[in-house]
Amino acid sequence: MKKIGILNYDISSVIASMGHGDLIVIADAGLSIPSSTKRIDLALEKNLPTFLDTVRVILKELQVEEALIASEMREKNPEVREKLLALLGDVPIREIPHEEFKKMTQNAKAVVRTGEFTPYANVILKGGVVF
Protein backbone atom coordinates (compact mmCIF):
# COMPACT_ATOMS: atom_id res chain seq x y z
CA MET A 1 0.00 0.00 0.00
CA LYS A 2 1.27 3.47 -0.92
CA LYS A 3 1.81 5.43 2.28
CA ILE A 4 2.50 9.00 1.11
CA GLY A 5 1.36 11.33 -1.62
CA ILE A 6 -1.72 11.00 -3.76
CA LEU A 7 -3.45 7.69 -3.08
CA ASN A 8 -5.85 7.90 -6.04
CA TYR A 9 -4.35 5.62 -8.69
CA ASP A 10 -5.67 7.54 -11.70
CA ILE A 11 -4.46 10.96 -10.50
CA SER A 12 -1.10 9.59 -9.40
CA SER A 13 -0.66 7.86 -12.76
CA VAL A 14 -1.53 10.97 -14.77
CA ILE A 15 0.87 13.15 -12.77
CA ALA A 16 3.64 10.57 -13.15
CA SER A 17 3.07 10.54 -16.92
CA MET A 18 3.12 14.32 -17.35
CA GLY A 19 5.94 16.07 -19.12
CA HIS A 20 6.82 19.70 -19.65
CA GLY A 21 3.83 21.56 -21.06
CA ASP A 22 1.27 18.81 -20.47
CA LEU A 23 -2.07 19.92 -19.01
CA ILE A 24 -4.27 18.62 -16.20
CA VAL A 25 -7.60 20.20 -15.27
CA ILE A 26 -9.13 20.34 -11.81
CA ALA A 27 -12.82 21.11 -12.21
CA ASP A 28 -16.00 21.83 -10.35
CA ALA A 29 -18.89 19.38 -10.58
CA GLY A 30 -20.49 21.21 -13.51
CA LEU A 31 -17.68 21.63 -16.05
CA SER A 32 -18.44 19.85 -19.29
CA ILE A 33 -15.74 17.29 -20.04
CA PRO A 34 -15.05 16.24 -23.63
CA SER A 35 -15.67 12.53 -24.17
CA SER A 36 -12.18 12.26 -25.68
CA THR A 37 -10.51 13.48 -22.46
CA LYS A 38 -9.82 11.15 -19.53
CA ARG A 39 -12.26 11.85 -16.69
CA ILE A 40 -11.19 11.19 -13.11
CA ASP A 41 -14.39 11.64 -11.13
CA LEU A 42 -13.90 12.29 -7.42
CA ALA A 43 -17.33 13.87 -6.81
CA LEU A 44 -19.10 12.16 -3.91
CA GLU A 45 -21.67 14.78 -2.96
CA LYS A 46 -22.09 18.54 -2.94
CA ASN A 47 -18.68 20.09 -2.13
CA LEU A 48 -17.02 16.76 -1.37
CA PRO A 49 -14.21 16.84 -2.18
CA THR A 50 -13.81 20.56 -2.64
CA PHE A 51 -12.00 22.13 -5.55
CA LEU A 52 -9.44 23.84 -3.31
CA ASP A 53 -8.63 20.68 -1.32
CA THR A 54 -8.06 18.80 -4.57
CA VAL A 55 -5.83 21.53 -5.99
CA ARG A 56 -3.82 21.67 -2.74
CA VAL A 57 -3.09 17.93 -2.83
CA ILE A 58 -2.19 17.88 -6.54
CA LEU A 59 0.17 20.84 -6.12
CA LYS A 60 2.20 18.80 -3.62
CA GLU A 61 3.22 16.39 -6.41
CA LEU A 62 3.04 18.34 -9.65
CA GLN A 63 5.60 20.91 -10.78
CA VAL A 64 3.48 23.67 -12.32
CA GLU A 65 4.80 26.15 -14.86
CA GLU A 66 1.56 28.08 -15.38
CA ALA A 67 -2.08 28.02 -14.29
CA LEU A 68 -5.04 29.05 -16.41
CA ILE A 69 -8.39 30.14 -15.04
CA ALA A 70 -11.56 31.56 -16.56
CA SER A 71 -11.65 35.35 -16.48
CA GLU A 72 -15.28 35.07 -15.29
CA MET A 73 -14.01 33.65 -11.98
CA ARG A 74 -12.89 37.16 -10.92
CA GLU A 75 -16.52 38.37 -10.76
CA LYS A 76 -18.51 35.16 -10.29
CA ASN A 77 -16.39 33.41 -7.64
CA PRO A 78 -13.93 35.90 -6.09
CA GLU A 79 -13.57 34.04 -2.77
CA VAL A 80 -12.45 30.77 -4.37
CA ARG A 81 -10.27 32.73 -6.82
CA GLU A 82 -8.46 34.49 -3.99
CA LYS A 83 -7.83 31.20 -2.16
CA LEU A 84 -6.68 29.53 -5.38
CA LEU A 85 -4.19 32.31 -6.05
CA ALA A 86 -2.82 31.88 -2.52
CA LEU A 87 -2.40 28.13 -3.10
CA LEU A 88 -0.62 28.75 -6.40
CA GLY A 89 1.83 31.20 -4.81
CA ASP A 90 4.44 32.26 -7.38
CA VAL A 91 2.95 30.23 -10.25
CA PRO A 92 2.11 32.58 -13.15
CA ILE A 93 -1.65 32.77 -13.77
CA ARG A 94 -3.30 33.48 -17.08
CA GLU A 95 -6.98 34.42 -17.30
CA ILE A 96 -8.88 33.38 -20.42
CA PRO A 97 -12.57 33.43 -21.38
CA HIS A 98 -14.51 30.42 -20.09
CA GLU A 99 -15.34 29.25 -23.63
CA GLU A 100 -11.62 29.15 -24.47
CA PHE A 101 -10.97 27.36 -21.17
CA LYS A 102 -13.48 24.65 -22.09
CA LYS A 103 -11.84 24.17 -25.50
CA MET A 104 -8.43 23.74 -23.85
CA THR A 105 -9.73 20.85 -21.75
CA GLN A 106 -9.70 18.80 -24.97
CA ASN A 107 -5.88 18.90 -24.87
CA ALA A 108 -5.54 17.88 -21.22
CA LYS A 109 -4.18 14.53 -20.11
CA ALA A 110 -7.14 14.38 -17.72
CA VAL A 111 -9.91 16.34 -16.03
CA VAL A 112 -10.25 15.73 -12.30
CA ARG A 113 -13.90 16.37 -11.41
CA THR A 114 -14.50 17.43 -7.82
CA GLY A 115 -17.75 17.86 -5.90
CA GLU A 116 -17.38 21.65 -5.94
CA PHE A 117 -20.72 23.44 -6.30
CA THR A 118 -19.51 26.99 -6.94
CA PRO A 119 -19.26 28.59 -10.40
CA TYR A 120 -16.04 28.74 -12.42
CA ALA A 121 -14.05 26.75 -9.82
CA ASN A 122 -11.76 25.29 -12.47
CA VAL A 123 -8.05 25.49 -13.19
CA ILE A 124 -5.76 24.14 -15.87
CA LEU A 125 -2.29 23.33 -14.56
CA LYS A 126 0.54 23.26 -17.08
CA GLY A 127 3.34 20.91 -16.15
CA GLY A 128 6.77 22.36 -15.56
CA VAL A 129 10.20 20.85 -14.97
CA VAL A 130 12.06 20.54 -11.69
CA PHE A 131 15.47 21.36 -13.15
Which segments in the chain show pLDDT lower than 70? none
**Does the annotation list 122 as a binding residue?**
yes
Catalytic (active-site) positions = 20
Dihedral of the alpha carbons of 98, 104, 118, 76, in degrees to the nearest 10: -20
Domain 9-127, classified CATH 3.40.1650.10, yes or no: yes
Can you give the residue ranges of every domain in the chain?
Answer: 9-127
**Which pTM does this prediction carry?**
0.97
Per-residue pLDDT reduced to its tens digit, 76-99: 999 999 999 999 999 999 999 999
> Distance between alpha carbon 7 and the CA centroid of its chain, in Å?
17
